[in-house]
Structures are given as C-alpha cells and as structure tokens.
C-alpha cells in the first residue's frame, strides 16, 4: 500500500483590536478589547494544553497587549464598563438611554435570543430606546447590565459547574448588585490570565507567537502611499505622497520590543498589518531580524519569481518561499484564502461535526493530489476573534471536532513555520513581492476614496507641523507628540473611511482619529486646522427617488421587458457603493418598487455570476422598524425566485407593521453558500416611498 502524503497544517490566528484609548484619558471609547478579551483570547491558546500534539500560531498586536495590560492594572476602563458598574437604581435618564442603545451590541441569534431573559429585554426595548424608557424597570436595567456582560464571557467560564457563572445563567433574572459585581470581577480575572496563558503554552513548545507592527499600520503606505497605484492605477492617491519609511521602521522596531517586554522573548515571525506587504516593507521586517512573515495567496500569484518563465500553479501556495530584499532574505508563507474563509464565514451555519469533517476532507485532498518532493505546508490564517460569535457556543464544538479529527488522522500534521522550516528549508523563489494586502491584493480599503485621502492629507500635514516644531520641544513633549502621529498611522481609522465598510460606530472612529491629531496640535501649541474640526466621514447615503410600480411584474424569473418595471428605482453596481466587508468582487444591479403593501425587487448579477441555489437572502428593514425578513428560500406570504443569474422577490410589508402608505428604508443581505456574505447596496440603505393614491395614479395612463 502506498504511504499517504503527509499534509502539514499551519493554523494561524490573528488577534487585534484598534487603539481605543482617547487621548489624555484612561478610558477606551469602545469596549471591544475587554469584551473580546473575555470571550476570544484565552481559549484559543488554552486549547493547546487540552490536546496533546495540537500546535498552532497566534499573532498578538502589541497595542492590543498594552491595552489588556492597562485593564488588568486598573489604568484603563471603558464607558460600557462604567455604565455596568453603576447601581441600577442610580442611573440617570441619559445613562439609561445609553444602556438601551449599547447593551445589545452582540450577535442576536447566538448571543441574545438563546437566553430567555436577555431576549425578553431585547424585545421589550424594541426599535426605540427612548420609548423603552417608559417600560423598563430598575430590575430590567440591572438584569440588562448583567446579561450584556455575561453573554460576552466565553462558555469555558460560563458553563463550568464549579464556577458561579453557571448559576447565574440558570437564574436568568432578578440579579442583585452583588451578582453583577461578581460578573465584572470575573471579567477582570479572565483578562489577567490572557498574557500568562500565551507565555506558558509558548514555553511548553506547543504555541508559536508572532507580532505585528506596534499600532497596526499599513506598512507599504507608510513607506510610500504611491504603492497603491500598482494594483489600482486609476485610483486617486494623496498628493504629495505620504512617504515616511522611518515611521514604518518605528512601528516594526517598537512592536517587536514591546512584545518582548510583555511576553518575555523576542518573536521571529510577523504578521504585517492586514497582510500588507511590499518590497520596501518586507525589507524593513528583514532588517529588524524577522525570519518570516505571512500574507495572502493573491499576493503570491501576482509576485515576480526568480525564474521569470516560471508560472506558479496551485502547488506553489503550499510551500515555504524565500524573498530576497535590500536587507537580506526573509521567508514567507501564504494563506489558503478559501480554507480560511470557510472557517471565517461559512462553517458557522453548518453542523459542527460536519463542518470539521469537510475541512479535513479539503486538507486530505491537497495531499492526495500532491506531486512535489517536499510535502505541502497549508497555511490557514484568519482573525482569531471576529467569527466565533456567529458559531453556536462560540465555536467550541467546531474547534473540538476539528482538533480531534486532525489529531486522529495520521496524514495531517499540525506544525509551526519554524518547525516546518527546520525540516524543509525555504526555497529562494521570489525576486519581488506584489504590493497589496490580504483583501483583494490591494490597498483600496485604506486609500483612494476621497475620505481616505483627506485623512492621509491631515496626517501628513500634522507630521510636517511636528517636524517644524521639533527643535522647540523638550524630550517628554517630543515623545508625546510622536505617539499621537504613530497612533494616527494605524490602519483602523482608514478602514472606516470610504464606502467599503459599514458600522454604526464609524463616526466615532472618525472622531477619535481627529482627536489624536487635535491633541497633537495642542501639544505643539499650534492652531487646529479648520478641516480637522469637522467630520471627515460623511453620513451614510440614503438613496432616494422613484420606486412606485403600477402593476406587479408577471412571470417572476422570466424576461419581462420594459413596462412591468416602469417606475422602479435602479441602484446600479456603478453607483450604489461597494459591498460589505465580506464581499469579494460582487457586481449587481438592483431594481425595486412599491406596489401597495408589497416591496417588489429584482437583482441581476453581472459577468455571469449568480448565487448558489442553497443560498439565503434576507430583507433587512432599518426604518420605520428594525426587521429581518427571510425572502429566499421563499416563505409565505413572500415569494422569491432565483434563476437565470437573477433573483426576484415579492415581500408583504404589512406583517412587519408597515402600512402601504408608510415609507421604509431597507437593504438586501445575501449569504451565498460557501462564500462570504454581502449586502446590496453596500454601504447604504435605500428608500422605499409610501404607496398613495396620488403617486400611484401617475402611472395609470400607461
């Protein structure tokens, strides 16, 4: 019998949160370091101690580690934590409104609806926090304070019968102030265990730890913002360019040193922020002593190989490469985009055992088709915190089945990059690396849109002001001023500019970015530029116009010609904004209209693309009520048909409480089987007018 080709699996988790600390304060403007800390950061490292032979890599961003340290030391808090600590009977009306607005920030299907009391409070709040004030009791507010903090704690702690949280889950309601304090105290205990568990498991040899540049900047854009023109030559970029490679070098150097101070050892590998690379950025990583880095497969297939005639096939993805830079060679691995997205976006809707089995089947297929002498190294790399709230039990069942299945299969060998390299040294294959990120192999998320470019302009302007003022500053002020620049160079501010990504908190990110630069001008005793006093981020667009049909389109799913859609509003892929953060290269046109109590829509996908038949489509209504209505697969009284590269639907709005005469705002959310979710239109909602005799009569002459 022929021996099975071994497949080496490099499982690599990236842990990151933005720098949320407001300048000059000890308060984080958002609670996500704390909440993801108590839910996501401990258990992934802990798994290496539960399963002998399980090895993986975790990337820890230094600015995240610093914020965790600050919480543990008591020098950092956040607004949600302070609202939680306050006795319910002492809350002001403004604080109650804030709690009703912010304390349901969780994925409702997995983190709210499964818990009867939390779900009851969610439904009692309804669409209006102001209206809910009249109905919420002191007990309701205290229970909400507890549940928001309890649901974010990992099941590892909540379900342990030897810990008090299991009793609180069973109690469900009527919590006391003492029980609330217990939940918050346990949160701090969990945060205090995060850094030690990573350090311990690394010392035991089961966990490879890498780091990122300090404040998570896009390194190639710091080196020279013109790098964005390589992948998107028609996109406008800031003029003059932002070109300060010394800043990129600072983030790399300080990131490594901060990691070493906190973790007790110097890392040898780096995940450059957002997998963003260029020849200049990789040279700086090599100069700093990094022996390897990781990025996305799209970068590999666009890079230049040492042998120009060499055309890399899929097998090139599963080898350890070596890139020669101006500062020496550095090894590199490239993530399997498809396998990573299966965990990140797809398996959350599957049965946990079947999902794990499917993933293992994919790995074994790579080995079955392998032809090279050196065995394959499969790198699966994704965010270590963002996907798990979409899984049942925070992904614990899926991870257990996955790890047990891999360890029980002799063909698959978990490994770290240094271990694999010791057995199979990298081949010097790359002459030059393509400048791009792990998102579409370009930098469009962070530069090119007028909002992005405005932010880069203000950043460059502030940096030049600092350089002019530098001779007048003492050492303490110099360090404080440079810190504001380096914070503002982080990738997260630019992530929310432009129309690629949508968040209810995008204006807060805009404000925090500008606050850091405004704080810099205060340190320099200089006037603040007028442009920094106003939001860079423009309000979300609500697309208006048209939208009244005079007859129902007939023969849904068939070619219908012009007249049945007279009066419909068209949102073109060329004008309707980009897709949500998960979408990849989705182009489609949306026609929609109002016909009495119905919303009628049609989506046509371009370039021959369509949705798999087992996809799901949901109508997300945002005004006058917040409502999710499944429309495909069709559910009575709604109908929808998917065929011929289009989907058409007819949705009755009255069951949602929207009378025919009432206007509404909505977007469509798509969950294509096996692919990331997206929305149409992306980055905005669309306006649907009310159906009245006056506007309906406009079309009767036809």
For the stretch 305-347, pLDDT in tens is: 987 656 678 999 999 999 999 999 999 999 999 999 999 988 9
Tens of pLDDT, residues 649-665: 888 898 888 988 888 88
Specify the pLDDT at position 558.
43
Range of the domain at 667: 542-699
Is residue 294, in this structure, part of any structural domain at all? Answer: no
Is the pLDDT at 208 greater than 80? The verdict is: yes
Tell me the average pLDDT of the chain: 89
CB 371 within 8 A of CB 315: yes
Is the pLDDT at 479 greater than 50? The verdict is: yes
Is the pLDDT at 590 greater than 50? The verdict is: yes
Specify the pLDDT at position 272.
98
Specify the pLDDT at position 564.
61
Specify the pLDDT at position 634.
76
Is the pLDDT at 701 greater than 50? The verdict is: no
Tens of pLDDT, residues 344-380: 988 998 999 999 999 999 999 999 989 999 999 999 9
Specify the pLDDT at position 555.
47
pTM for the full model? 0.81
Specify the pLDDT at position 629.
86
CB 234 within 8 A of CB 299: no
Mean pLDDT of 223-241: 94
As a whole number of angstroms, the distance between CA 109 and CA 147 comes to: 15
Is residue 210, in this structure, part of any structural domain at all? Answer: no
Specify the pLDDT at position 53.
95
Is residue 308, in this structure, part of any structural domain at all? Answer: no
As a whole number of angstroms, the distance between CA 176 and CA 443 comes to: 50
Mean pLDDT of 488-498: 95
**CATH number for the domain that contains residue 685:** 2.60.40
Sign for the CA dihedral angle at 334, 280, 310, 417 comes to negative
Is residue 281, in this structure, part of any structural domain at all? Answer: no
Is residue 688, in this structure, part of any structural domain at all? Answer: yes
Residue at a domain's end among 203, 229, 258: 203
Mean pLDDT of 261-274: 98
Residues 6+ apart with CB under 8 A from 343: 359, 380, 382, 387
Is the pLDDT at 146 greater than 90? The verdict is: yes
Q: At residue 497, what are phi and psi to the nearest 5 degrees?
A: -80, 155
Residues 6+ apart with CB under 8 A from 617: 611, 630, 631, 632, 640, 647, 649, 668, 669, 670, 671
CB 285 within 8 A of CB 330: yes
Specify the pLDDT at position 637.
64
Specify the pLDDT at position 475.
96
pLDDT confidence bin for 485, thresholds 50/70/90: very high
Tens of pLDDT, residues 613-650: 778 888 888 778 878 888 888 766 667 787 766 788 88
Residue at a domain's end among 157, 179, 203: 203
Sign for the CA dihedral angle at 347, 352, 358, 363 comes to positive
Is the pLDDT at 85 greater than 90? The verdict is: yes
CB 243 within 8 A of CB 225: yes
Is the pLDDT at 561 greater than 60? The verdict is: no
Which residue, chain included where needed, has tokens 């406009």? 698
Structure tokens at 145: 């304070």
> Structural domain tally of the chain?
2
- DSSP strands (E only) in 341-466: 377-383, 412-414, 427-432
Is residue 164, in this structure, part of any structural domain at all? Answer: yes
Residue at a domain's end among 172, 203, 234: 203
Specify the pLDDT at position 308.
64
Specify the pLDDT at position 605.
81
Is residue 635, in this structure, part of any structural domain at all? Answer: yes
Is residue 562, in this structure, part of any structural domain at all? Answer: yes
Tens of pLDDT, residues 28-55: 999 999 999 999 999 999 999 999 999 9
């Amino acid at each position: 019998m022929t021996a099975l080709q071994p497949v080496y699996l490099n499982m690599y988790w990236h842990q990151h949160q933005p720098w949320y600390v407001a300048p000059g304060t000890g308060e984080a403007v958002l609670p996500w370091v704390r909440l993801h800390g108590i839910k996501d950061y401990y258990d992934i490292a802990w798994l290496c101690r539960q399963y002998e032979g399980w090895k993986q890599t975790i990337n820890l961003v230094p600015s995240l580690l610093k914020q965790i340290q600050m919480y543990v030391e008591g020098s950092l808090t956040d607004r949600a934590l302070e609202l939680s600590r306050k006795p319910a009977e002492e809350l002001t009306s403004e604080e109650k409104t804030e709690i009703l607005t912010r304390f349901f920030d969780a994925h409702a299907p997995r983190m709210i609806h499964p818990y009867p009391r939390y779900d009851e409070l969610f439904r009692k709040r309804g669409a209006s926090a102001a209206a809910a004030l009249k109905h919420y009791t002191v007990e309701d507010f205290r229970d909400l304070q507890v549940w928001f903090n309890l649901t974010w704690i990992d099941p590892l702690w909540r379900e342990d019968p030897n810990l008090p949280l299991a009793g609180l889950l069973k109690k469900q309601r009527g919590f006391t102030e003492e029980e609330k304090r217990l939940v918050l105290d346990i949160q701090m205990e969990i945060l205090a265990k995060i850094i030690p568990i990573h350090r311990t498991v690394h010392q035991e040899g089961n966990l490879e730890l890498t780091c990122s540049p300090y404040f998570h900047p896009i390194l190639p854009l710091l080196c020279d913002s013109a790098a964005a023109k390589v992948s998107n030559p028609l996109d406008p970029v800031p003029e003059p360019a932002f070109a300060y490679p010394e800043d990129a070098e600072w983030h790399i150097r300080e990131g490594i040193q901060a990691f070493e101070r906190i973790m007790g050892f110097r890392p040898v590998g780096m995940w450059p922020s957002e997998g963003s690379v260029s020849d200049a950025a990789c040279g700086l990583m090599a100069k700093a002593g990094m022996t390897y880095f990781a990025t996305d497969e799209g970068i590999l297939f666009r890079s230049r190989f040492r042998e120009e005639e060499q055309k890399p096939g899929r097998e090139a993805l599963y080898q350890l490469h070596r890139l020669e830079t101006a500062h020496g060679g550095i090894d590199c691995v490239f993530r399997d985009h498809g396998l990573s997205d299966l965990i990140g976006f797809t398996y959350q809707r599957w049965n946990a055992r079947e999902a794990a089995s499917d993933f293992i089947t994919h790995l074994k297929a790579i080995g079955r088709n392998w032809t090279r002498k050196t065995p394959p190294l499969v790198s699966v790399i994704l965010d270590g915190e963002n996907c798990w709230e979409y899984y049942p039990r925070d992904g614990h069942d899926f991870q257990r089945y996955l790890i047990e299945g891999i360890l029980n299969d002799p063909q698959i060998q978990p490994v770290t990059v240094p271990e694999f390299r010791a057995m199979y040294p990298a081949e010097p294959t790359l002459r030059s690396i393509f400048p791009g990120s792990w998102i579409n192999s370009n930098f469009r998320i962070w530069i090119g849109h007028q909002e992005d470019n405005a932010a880069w302009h203000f950043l460059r302007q502030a940096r030049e002001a600092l350089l002019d003022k530098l001779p007048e500053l003492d050492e303490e002020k110099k360090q404080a001023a440079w810190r504001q620049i380096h914070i503002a160079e982080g990738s997260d501010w630019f992530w929310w500019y432009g129309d690629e990504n949508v968040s209810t908190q995008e204006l807060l990110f805009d404000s925090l970015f500008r606050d850091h630069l405004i704080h810099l001008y205060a340190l320099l005793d200089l006037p603040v530029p007028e442009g920094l006093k106003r939001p860079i981020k423009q309000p979300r667009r609500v697309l208006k116009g048209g939208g009244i049909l005079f007859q129902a389109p007939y023969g849904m799913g068939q070619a219908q010609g012009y007249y049945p859609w007279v009066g419909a509003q068209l949102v073109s892929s060329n004008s309707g904004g980009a897709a949500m953060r998960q979408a990849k290269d989705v182009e489609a046109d949306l026609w929609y209209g109002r016909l009495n109590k119905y919303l009628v829509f049609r989506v046509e996908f371009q370039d021959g693309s369509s949705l798999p038949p087992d996809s799901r489509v949901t109508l997300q209504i945002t005004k006058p009520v917040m409502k999710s209505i499944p429309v495909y697969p069709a559910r009575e009284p709604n109908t929808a048909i998917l065929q011929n590269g289009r989907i058409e639907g007819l949705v009755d709005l009255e069951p949602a409480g929207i009378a025919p005469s009432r206007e509404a705002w909505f977007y469509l959310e798509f969950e294509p089987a096996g692919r990331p979710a997206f929305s149409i239109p992306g980055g905005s909602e669309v306006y649907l007018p009310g159906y009245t005799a006056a506007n309906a009569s406009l079309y009767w002459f036809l």
